[in-house]
A = this chain, B = another copy of it.
Amino acid sequence: MTMQKTSLTINPIGESQSLKARAYEAMKSAIAAMNIYDDSAELRLDERDLSARFGISRTPLREALAQLDQEGLVRVVARRGIFIVRKTKAEILDMITVWAALESMAARLACENAGPANIKELHRLTDPYDDVSRQLGEYSDANIRFHQAIIHAGGNALIGEIIDGLFLHVRAIRNRTIIEKDRARQSIADHKKIVAAIEKGDADLAEQLVRQHTLKLRDHVKEFVEIP
């Protein structure tokens, strides 16, 4: 079974991809890697400089940049330059809200479509956390995998794609979220309830739990995370 494609997509590059695709991936991970919300962050990009550093021509690079532009990661404005986009806090909150809508629908779908393999996977991702001492940051791999498992169990691939796109942006605040012990503990408890609801096939409950779980994150970000 193929997991939802994650940001950690293994690079199966046989060097056979088009330069555009490689430039796209390189740019994307480069932007994701840098902390764009640092005051010292350089938000301006230079086509010619980039093409030189990548060792490719401007044409494929421009196509990659155009894609990033449409994705909202970058803004290219004529005769001015290319700028890395800083999402406003309001936009981040909107994204988390959309996330809540989609994942809660996925949970609902999971109640109808999830097979034994999906259920087993969900348990595998929640049961080990009886020991609360484990790290479970908001964006820890374990947490992300859990949410992806729900989406996968729902069986609607489009939901996975959209959320992947959102995560690309939301992850920018991962360094700014405060990992609080209470939140982690609560989060684990939420997860267990969600799995139970899905296993029971209670669609309304599963949807409600997932929605509230994610909206709790939204409210937390709204209150405690500062985004310039």
How many Å lie between the Cα of A62 and that of B33 in the bound state?
A: 29
User: Shortest beta-carbon distance, A152 to chain B, in Å?
Assistant: 13
Segment 52-93 of A: residues with Cβ below 8 Å from B: 59, 62-63, 66-67, 70-71, 78, 91
Copies in the complex: 2
Chain B residues with CB under 8 A of A78? 18
Q: Given the complex, which residues of B lie within 8 Å of A102, measured CB to CB?
A: 98, 101-102
Task: Tell me which residues across on chain B come within 8 A of A159, comparing CB atoms.
Answer: 94, 97-98, 101
Q: Which B residue sits closest to A66, measured CB to CB?
A: B63
- 16 residue pairs of the A-B complex, CB under 8 angstroms, read A18-B78, A20-B66, A62-B63, A63-B63, A67-B70, A94-B157, A94-B158, A95-B158, A97-B158, A98-B158, A98-B162, A100-B105, A101-B102, A101-B105, A101-B159, A162-B162
A residues near B (Cβ < 8 Å) are 18, 20, 59, 62-63, 66-67, 70-71, 78, 91, 94-95, 97-98, 100-102, 104-105, 109, 156-159, 162
